[in-house]
């Protein structure tokens, strides 16, 4: 089955740029979705189809995908961005969705 690998944690100072990676075999050929989950809350979609943003999501959130790595970039990080972030793709061989293990973003 398809495996997505995320770093367990990323730390960044307020105002700086956070980059959260999601690794997978030839992930560049897939559409990657990203979710933000704050403690005690349901996940919220922040980027879909590699780089598109749902309405209401700040432009500070962007995504890219190429080769074996997809990246969620959060510019001008704010304290309110502190959360767990998950990447997700669809495994074409099984038609099952697959989630990365999640990355905890800490705002210093």
Least separation in angstroms between CB 72 and other proteins: 13
Tokens of 23: 């690794």
* CB nearer to other proteins: pick between 16 and 87: 87
* CB nearer to other proteins: pick between 59 and 95: 95
Least separation in angstroms between CB 82 and other proteins: 17
Residues that bind other proteins (CB under 8 A): 31, 33, 35, 37, 41-45, 48-49, 54, 84, 86, 88, 90, 94-102
Residues sharing a CB contact under 8 Å with residue 97, sequence separation 6 or more, in sequence order: 88, 89, 90, 91
CB 86 within 8 A of CB 4: no
């Amino acid at each position: 089955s398809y495996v997505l690998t995320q770093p367990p944690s990323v730390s960044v100072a307020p105002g700086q740029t956070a980059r959260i990676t999601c690794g997978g075999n030839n992930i560049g050929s897939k559409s990657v979705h990203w979710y933000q989950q704050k403690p005690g809350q349901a996940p919220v979609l922040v980027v879909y189809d590699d780089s598109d943003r749902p309405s209401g999501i700040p432009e500070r959130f962007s995504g890219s995908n190429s080769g074996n790595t997809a990246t969620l970039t959060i510019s001008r990080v704010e304290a309110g961005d502190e959360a767990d972030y998950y990447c997700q793709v669809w495994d074409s061989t099984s038609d099952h969705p697959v989630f990365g293990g999640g990355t905890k973003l800490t705002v210093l």
